[in-house]
Amino acid sequence: MTSPVVDLAVETKDEEASPRKEKMVLIASSGDLDKAWPVLILATTGAAYGMEVTVFFTFWGLGILKRRDAGITGDDWRQKMLSMFNRGTTEHLKLSKLNFGGMGPKMMKDLADKHKVASVQELLEVAQEMGVKLWPCQMTMDLMGLSREDLIDGLDAPAGAGSAISLMKQAEISLFI
Amino acid sequence: MADHTVDARGLQCPMPVIKLSQAIMTAQPGETVELISTDRGSCSDVPAWAADMGHALEEQFEIDNEFHFVLVRS
């Protein structure tokens, strides 16, 4: 996998040949359901506008990209504890308020099913189909002891703040969620 | 009768616009694409998307709480 910084350099050369696509960057730093949802709704809609969309998953947001069968992750005991209390994946995201010990997200998902609102998992799959780039934060991976194998397939190479800033300097829309 | 029809009935934001954007790519320039949606948000979303993307919104009407949008692929 090439690094995102190299990719950006290659893109500039391609832009001379074809019209430049507008760029959108979303920084997904929250692992809450009510943040993951709008991140993916905005990402897929940005892609529907023909924009080149990148979502940078950092800190709690990285948990959204955990594989459902990852189990307990990490090397030291703090990282393992973190993985137990922060299960993540698209299935175990809490609400930022009215979580009610887990009842909140369950009720919210039931409402979503009833009103045919696409789930976070569905939106993530649609995003990947539409070519939305998903960048896992390398620093968060190191901090929380999450390896590439603990995360889902279809992700870009792990990136850092340097790549994120570089991309945001070029993007028409940048959002921190 | 539009050349292409996208049935997004029962789907909620953002899916109607997503499906429309995917369908319009399969249409030839000049062909019509009709979106049918039950999401009231489509009434503002679809015209905004069409205007930005340069596809003419020829018709927009509502029948029995179903919203119809006929666009011409640019």
In which residue ranges of chain A is pLDDT below 70? Answer: 1-17
A44 touches chain B (CB under 8 A): yes
Q: What is the pTM (predicted TM-score) of this model?
A: 0.88
- Looking at the partner chain, which of A49, A123, A130 has a beta carbon nearest the beta carbon of B53? A49
B67 touches chain A (CB under 8 A): no
Q: What is the pLDDT of residues B2-60, one digit of tens each?
A: 899 999 999 999 999 999 999 999 999 999 999 999 999 999 999 999 999 999 999 99
Give percent above pLDDT 90 in chain B.
97
Residues of B in contact with A123 (CB under 8 A): 14
Tell me the residue type at B2: A
CA distance readout (Å), B37 to A125, A127, B9, B58, B65 = 22, 21, 5, 16, 9
SS3 content of chain A, % helix, strand, coil (to 5): 50, 15, 35
CA of B41 to nearest chain A CA: how many angstroms apart? 13
Enter the ipTM: 0.88
CA distance readout (Å), A89 to A63, A161, A168, B34 = 6, 23, 26, 36
Of the candidates A35, A54, A29, the residue with the CA atom closest to the CA atom of residue A44: A54
> Contact A39/A55 with Cβ under 8 angstroms?
yes
- Asked about B43 being catalytic, the answer comes back as no
CA distance readout (Å), A158 to A16, A94, A137, A177, B50 = 27, 25, 6, 19, 35
Largest CA distance in chain A: 54
Which residues 15-54 of chain B have a CB within 8 Å of chain A? 15, 17-18, 20-22, 49, 52-53
Q: What is the pLDDT of residues A135-145, one digit of tens each?
A: 999 999 999 99
